[in-house]
Structure 1
């Protein structure tokens, strides 16, 4: 909730041209938390029970709510709203069914099995009903009029592909660092610093230049091209890749992501009316998160299939070694005898890098999509000054 509400609040308080510097501030916090989170999580897993990874979020969430209540002051004017409960339920049910198709298809069940067919039909029916519900709801959760806005369609589609290609593939970077290079869970979180450094640096620089010159389209175009190169370089890693080289590749990927992610938010906020600011911003975040979920399922299936094939080629008699055991427990890999451990590590390296290979065409597709985004002049007026905001 906090993550999704921050961009609309910034969009209401700052004019589009002046929002360029805020991605740098948000990126700093995001980079620190993205590094600190895995680092603390790795320490907890190494030294305490894994359940504390979830418990530790409770005091942090309470502190965030208290800080928001204390320091965020917006002029508001309350009015009655009709919450689109039916639309929300249909969207959640339809997306869940679709995600289950991608997660279970080819692994838990055959693609032509009754379970997968039933889930596919259910997803199609539920999402069709969702569209119908949004066309008649007084205050739809996702107004269909937004899809008549070219900038919204392009940025949402690009965000979905971006989430699918990048978040869906880089989720396996810690596995590569732990299982192939041999670092601990604590250190694997720390070794993601280059990725965050690339995101932070490029988002700050591009944000300041957008505020200074008012031009923004060239940054996601360049960013997606750089990200595609970064994904390709990650796909070339193997058991001989050093930490220095892998860190350099992560910096390149992070630089491309930083040039792209926050600029898409600025573009869509600049293109919609004030009453659509919140839903347009949160919808773009939803599509990006949805892409990441689909990407994780897709690349997880790619990695699992490639790992099984590679293991069968290198260790034809190792039927007792389960793919799920290897991807879920790097400690188990390190405990194997050399005769098994080396072929397993080589197979896992091949499987993880295969996910980056598959991600490259998606990044190129996102680049092709963003080229058609119109570059509208950035407004110099904020949506909110001293005027009240309707809630």
Structure 2
């Protein structure tokens, strides 16, 4: 009895322990912030140089799309795996492993000799990126409550700003001076520093040891289904017809893989994505909204840089400078809204406004031309960035706020997974639409292009060979007359591709409107787990005491002298 009371008392007191101080939280977040900085820097530093890289490696528009899609695909597939591992193993060790995988693959990509080699290394890079994306959210929930997280989102916003603004600029300067390969090496020293700081400052409470099982079949089925779908989206209409044997095999394989994945998840002891999560209305609607956010975020970052270089003739450095309005919108919105959520305790109005901005920015970017006033283009980019900044992290926040604390890992990574999956599908669809539209416009303007090339005199044959090779052109290096034609072609193609994001943004807005407006808790994940354990222990002890009391009452009843009944007295 006394032992039970002591255990219960101690357990009940755990949630009331003082929360971490501001300084302790900053120390714990320092390595996490640097790890995220490494991930973002390694990605953004390459974004402005991708057109140059693909041109130098003799790649096509499909190669350009797959260099991006390969990373997003493996990020999407690995994110729920990392999230599941986070619920089973040491989270600190996992994020260190993710950083090592990410940076080594990034450095190896610098030695690529062909588009295929680059795509392969970028795919491995995505595995590490998935870990960083999932684990950073899980670890934040471990040490900061949803209500207090807004004040610290400013730090993440600052890191995002430095990486997303400084990365493209740094990448452009490196490409224009040292060569694009050096872009892949710049993150190495930061990665080493991140590993050291994480080891010294991040202290995670050990989780109870238990026997675990990894859903290997689910991993294979999910990877197969997503990969088949994306390969089909990229190649259909170009390498084969829409209605063809390849379409039947790829789409049929993707559908079959999805069905088998669902069946496997229903039976698995430790499912990769527990389907029970979808019983939570908040999780389901946040997933739908995250898909559209991913399409807008990744699609914009990929194709706006291409627009600046192929439709406006900018150099990589200039392209980095020209995309600053979008990053400014993302920074201001994420930092400002994070602070307001912490101060006011409300989140839904900000998410709705973000979805409106997302829809407006996507639609307006679908109207741009090669000669559109850059002030207008900047406004459109700012709106899109603000929409992403208001919705991206806050959708994870509201899911963590209502999820079972023992499933924070899979819940957080689930939202991140569908955001990455949305981005992967979005980039594939937008890339395919861009390639198809550019092909149509080149065919339609073949006579004008031929006449312009023939007017170039001694350089006519060189440019004829370049254009007929199918390699992604370097528009800024073209003669003025030819450059105007291709700037117009690529501007129309890229603006056409942005139309794909619009209906998804509208769906995102609808999903956010119907999200339950649940107040944000002030308890961290660790405190919620302790509180639930304390409640369970209290209930168990209470039930035990009731049982003891009932037994004592029965014993007293048995020991008491029998009271003669009226019938027995009458008999006497």
Both proteins in one fold, TM over 0.5: yes
* Aligned residue number for residue 507 of structure 2: 365
Instruction: Name the CA distance, whole Å, in 2 between partners of 1:362 and 1:77.
Output: 39
* Aligned residue number for residue 172 of structure 2: 42
Compute the displacement of 1:284 (Å): 0.6
Candidates 155, 158, 163, aligned match of 2:289:
158
Instruction: Name the CA distance, whole Å, in 2 between partners of 1:324 and 1:192.
Output: 27
Instruction: Name the CA distance, whole Å, in 1 between partners of 2:415 and 2:198.
Output: 23
String of CA shifts for 1:225-257, please: whole Å, max 9, x gaps. 112112222222222224333222211211111
Matches within 5 A, 1:135-146: 135-146=266-277
Instruction: Name the CA distance, whole Å, in 1 between partners of 2:217 and 2:503.
Output: 36
Compute the displacement of 1:170 (Å): 4.0
String of CA shifts for 1:146-192, please: whole Å, max 9, x gaps. 01111101101110122124422442101111122222112212322
- The TM-score normalised by the length of structure 2 is 0.64
Segments of structure 1 that go 5 or more residues without pairing to the other structure are: none
* Aligned residue number for residue 226 of structure 1: 357
- Does 2:196 correspond to 1:66? yes
* Aligned residue number for residue 335 of structure 1: 477
Candidates 386, 397, 415, aligned match of 1:255:
386
Matches within 5 A, 1:269-288: 269-288=400-419
* Aligned residue number for residue 26 of structure 1: 156
* Aligned residue number for residue 256 of structure 2: 125
Root-mean-square deviation (CA), in Å?
2.2
Instruction: Name the CA distance, whole Å, in 1 between partners of 2:221 and 2:189.
Output: 33
Contact 1:75 1:386 in 2 (8 A): no
Compute the displacement of 1:272 (Å): 0.5
Contact 2:315 2:476 in 1 (8 A): no
Candidates 523, 528, 536, aligned match of 1:381:
523
Task: Give the direction of change, closer, same or farther, for the CA distance of 1:78–1:55 in structure 2 (3 Å limit).
Answer: farther
Instruction: Name the CA distance, whole Å, in 2 between partners of 1:289 and 1:386.
Output: 28
User: More deviation in 304-313 or 220-229?
Assistant: 304-313
Compute the displacement of 1:386 (Å): 11
Task: Give the direction of change, closer, same or farther, for the CA distance of 1:27–1:303 in structure 2 (3 Å limit).
Answer: same
How many residue pairs align between the two structures? 384
Compute the displacement of 1:276 (Å): 1.0
Compute the displacement of 1:78 (Å): 4.5
- Does 2:446 correspond to 1:300? no
Instruction: Name the CA distance, whole Å, in 1 between partners of 2:246 and 2:328.
Output: 44
SS at match of 2:487: helix
Contact 2:218 2:272 in 1 (8 A): yes
Instruction: Name the CA distance, whole Å, in 2 between partners of 1:102 and 1:386.
Output: 43
Candidates 165, 181, 185, aligned match of 2:312:
181
SS at match of 2:372: coil
* Aligned residue number for residue 85 of structure 1: 216
- Does 2:144 correspond to 1:14? yes
SS at match of 1:236: coil
Contact 1:307 1:323 in 2 (8 A): no
SS at match of 1:171: helix
Q: Whose relative contact order is higher, 1 or 2, with alpha carbons under 8 Å and at least 6 apart? A: 1
SS at match of 2:271: coil
- The TM-score normalised by the length of structure 1 is 0.91
Compute the displacement of 1:334 (Å): 3.0
Task: Give the direction of change, closer, same or farther, for the CA distance of 1:323–1:244 in structure 2 (3 Å limit).
Answer: farther
Task: Give the direction of change, closer, same or farther, for the CA distance of 1:386–1:343 in structure 2 (3 Å limit).
Answer: closer
* Aligned residue number for residue 555 of structure 2: none
SS at match of 2:377: helix
Query: If you compute each CA radius of gyration, which structure gives the higher value, 1 or 2?
Result: 2
* Aligned residue number for residue 314 of structure 1: 445
Segments of structure 2 that go 5 or more residues without pairing to the other structure are: 1-130, 451-463, 531-572
Compute the displacement of 1:114 (Å): 2.2
Contact 1:311 1:343 in 2 (8 A): no
SS at match of 1:139: coil
More helix by share: 2
